[in-house]
Amino acid sequence: MNLHMPPYSKAPATKMTPKILIQNMNFFYGATQALFDVNLEVPAQQITAFIGPSGCGKSTLLRCLNRLNDLVDGSRLEGQILLDGQDIYRADVDVTDLRTRVGIVFQKVNPFPKTIYQNVAYGPRLQKVNRRATLDDIVEKSLQGAGLWEEVKDRLHASALSLSGGQQQRLCIARALAVNPNVLLMDEPCSALDPISTAKIEELLHTLKEQLTVVIVTHNMQQAARVSDYTGFFLLGELIEYDNTKKIFTNPGDQRTEDYVTGRFG
Amino acid sequence: MIAGLLLLIMANGLGFFWPKALVQLSLNDGTQVLGQMNAKEMIPYSNTPDAPEGKHRIQLKVGNRDLYGLDFRWIDEDAIQARSYPKDAVFVERREWGNFFGKILEVRKGSTVLASGSQSGWNALQPLVHHANEIHETIQHVETDVIGEINYEMEDIRLQLRGLNLTEHPDDQEKHSLNAQLETLQSIYEKEAETLRTLYDSLRDYSVVFIDANGQAQSLPVGQIIRVLHPNQMPWHEKALVYLSNIWMVLSEEPREANTEGGIFPAIFGTIMMVLMMSIAVVPFGILAAIYLNEYAHQGILVRFVRIAVNNLAGVPSIVFGVFGLGFFVYAVGGTLDTLFFPESLPTPTFGTGGLLWASLTLALMTVPVVIVATEEGLSAVPREYREGSLGLGATKLETLLRVVIPCAMPGILTGLILAISRATGEVAPLMLTGVVKLAPSLPLDSYFPFLHIDRKFMHLGFHIYDVGFQSPNVEAAKPMVYVTTLVLVAIVVILNLTAVALRNRMRRKYSGSTV
Ligand SMILES: Nc1ncnc2c1ncn2[C@@H]1O[C@H](COP(=O)(O)OP(=O)(O)O)[C@@H](O)[C@H]1O
Ligand SMILES: [Mg+2]
């Protein structure tokens, strides 16, 4: 580990502006601490992957980025998370507005028990977009953005639950895209999917990266190596190492990272 | 067990409508009896060498309560010499004294005989009965609509007068005009009452003389007759028609003769009205309470305590709710409302006595725990992923509740409502204290402002069963009515349940069936 770096720049030497900047962050579920002094920069329009054994706090960190952890009784955050330079945990931040800027796709595929169309239009409707033509447009664009349009354009009003698992996950991506976020958080989006659906979503990530910043949690090392530009390795709530994906996988700076990526670790 | 019980109720309830044949029995002592076979049973300890299995006796419905005093008679089979089914035996449904079984002797106008003998008497009688029924309809119209309206207006003016007298300085001029109005109404009333008298008199113009099986004659004004049938010569399709019209009559008409005859419409109507009002009260309250407990309240000791209290409330005997309803709603709330808003009609209570509103609210109170528990279960069964998915798209908590959580919890909420309705429909005890009566003078819904009279007393199927079956002077004759009422009550409960269950299953199908 490079000890000359200041604590918050355990980050790769990048010239890009950080989209998200996490500083000295500690996170607690009641009395138990889930994250310890995390410092990290997420560069804009890149794909950042979080890897690590399960229970190490990857999801917790991800959910802090759009304040979904606010819902957990007794949870507490110390330190700062800046999105475009603004502290998202400041008291005057509109959480619902934050969540439209930072979308999220979950590990457990969760389309609402409504039609495909209603699922995608859900977010825009919350923002009082009610004109049919506008909605139609948003729905089409979002489904195209998620690579699902061709498959469902003839049955937009069928139940979302009638789609296959992979299609449902892409529908969830489309639903998140419909509110036009500039960060997309993905928590193990492919862990429940077959290899073909997984490949489709990985392909999708490359096109998404052109418009937005993606943070993806995965426990599949090959996936992190394939899709991401930067990778952070977590262990027991600590960020052990954060660097270029290539560097992490070929020449990690920490022994524990090396053990993990080479599979010598649990 | 339940299926057997239902079958018994069905068989007895539905069989009651079928026009049974009239059998004439010649007895050993030389007398004749005419009636409908009702039941047959073994005489206890009657085993003799010639009847090793025991002897039987039959129960005959002989009708003619005015002649015999009793509707039913047990006859030993040993005592019967011959049975016959006389073609010209008539079945007469009357407005009083139950049915009459016999034969037509003659039809008269005053004291002149118009027709005599079975057949010509029958022919002469049909149009007369039809006409008399029309007169009854006119009377009904005059009594309830015309005179009812006059009474209503007069009562209104009287109340205004009393209200005026209660004020400090009554306005003499207004008093005067009100008194004048009252007098005009009074004269109109008298005119209508005169019409009514003539109508009633005209019902006695014609009369029929019947003879019973032993030749005893009985004269009856035609106005007393609802219909005359020849059950022994009716083909089955005519019987089927009578059967259907009997069913319709019971469902649509008002009761007669201390509820043992006629229809049960007011009871059906009252039951449904009460259940509807209860649902209107219980659904929003129960759902809001459940949402608060499940979604908003901090899950601490207090909430746990409230939950236990709610669950215990569901186990409190219903009569306790009745007593509470009487004490709280009727006396406390109703009494206060009366002194505040209806002082002119005191000491006659308006809301300070049992009524539809108080009964419905009492039942709502009784069933609200069921709704709360079921709704809470429905809410907590909604997957966390749905809530997070919605919140992650920028929805507020309320939006998430309204657009995702509550629609998904709808099957649970409906289950609660179903349970509440089934429990409320069958409940009688608390109603007896809070507004049910054996005979309500008017329906809670009519054409006078404000149309829905939530302060009125009402009739209820459950109480009707109790009243007809166990409180009536002529229990044996009322038995079919008890079965019919039970059947209707069970049918209402079953229909309400089936609809709600179907609705719930449709929703369930909509919200599941994922094909991952
Ligand atoms: N809602 C919660 N309440 C309490 N502890 C939690 C909660 N969610 C996660 N944790 C704990 O926080 C730690 C990190 O969990 P998580 O972020 O889900 O790990 P990962 O996603 O890396 O598998 C785990 O020890 C887990 O038990
Ligand atoms: Mg996780």
Most ligand 1 atoms within 8 A of CB, residue of A26, A28, A29 to mutate: A29
What is the pLDDT tens value at each position of chain B, 516 positions in all? 778 888 888 887 777 778 888 888 888 888 888 888 888 888 888 777 877 788 888 888 888 888 888 888 888 888 888 888 888 888 888 888 888 898 888 888 888 888 888 888 888 888 888 888 898 888 888 887 788 888 888 888 888 888 877 777 777 888 888 888 888 888 888 888 888 898 888 888 888 888 888 888 888 888 888 888 888 888 888 888 888 888 888 888 888 777 777 888 888 988 888 888 999 999 999 999 999 998 888 888 899 999 899 888 888 898 999 999 898 888 888 878 877 877 776 677 777 777 888 999 999 999 999 999 999 989 998 988 999 999 999 999 999 999 999 988 888 888 888 888 888 888 888 988 888 887 777 777 776 667 777 778 888 888 888 888 888 777 777 788 888 888 888 888 888 778 878 887 887 776 664 433
Closest-approaching ligand to the CA atom of A188: 2
B71/A227: higher pLDDT: A227
Contact A126 B399 (CB under 8 A): yes
Pick the CATH number of B267-510 from 3.40.50.300, 2.40.30.10, 3.30.420.40, 1.10.3720.10: 1.10.3720.10
pLDDT the model gives residue A3: 41
Q: Does residue A9 have a pLDDT over 60? A: no
The pair phi, psi for residue B287, each rounded to 5°, is -70, -45
CA–CA gap between residue B21 and residue B26 (Å, rounded): 16
pTM across the whole model: 0.78
Collapse the DSSP code of A103 into the 3-class scheme (helix H, G, I; strand E, B; otherwise coil) and give the result. Answer: strand
pLDDT the model gives residue B21: 85
The DSSP code for A161 is G
Contact B389 A112 (CB under 8 A): yes
Closest-approaching ligand to the CA atom of A233: 1
Residue A7, preceding bond cis, omega within 30 degrees?
no
Q: Does residue A33 have a pLDDT over 70? A: yes
Closest-approaching ligand to the CA atom of A31: 1
Ordered structural domains, chain A, with CATH: 7-112+183-261 (3.40.50.300)
pLDDT the model gives residue B514: 40
Contact A161 B512 (CB under 8 A): yes
How far CA A74 is from CA of A88, B33, B225, in Å, comes to: 19, 87, 80
> β-strand A213-217 against A183-187: which pairing, if any?
parallel
Kindly report the average pLDDT of chain B as a whole number: 84
Å from CA of A189 to ligand 2 middle: 10
Could you tell me which chain A residue has the CA closest to the CA of B300?
Answer: A73
pLDDT the model gives residue A60: 93
Could you tell me which chain B residue has the CA closest to the CA of A167?
Answer: B516
Could you tell me which chain B residue has the CA closest to the CA of A102?
Answer: B392
> Which of B393, B402, B404, B512 to substitute to test the interface with A, most A CBs within 10 Å?
B393
Residue B430, preceding bond cis, omega within 30 degrees?
no
CA–CA gap between residue A73 and residue A230 (Å, rounded): 32
Q: Which of A165-179, A180-194, B197-211, B444-458 has the lowest mean pLDDT?
A: B444-458
pLDDT, one tens digit per residue, over B297-348 is 888 889 999 989 988 888 889 899 999 989 888 888 887 887 787 777 667 7
* Nearest-CA distance A97 → chain B (Å): 6
Cα B425–Cα B428–Cα B429 angle in degrees, nearest 5: 140
CA–CA gap between residue A153 and residue B484 (Å, rounded): 57
**Which chain B residues are closer than 8 Å to A112 by Cβ?**
386, 389-390, 404
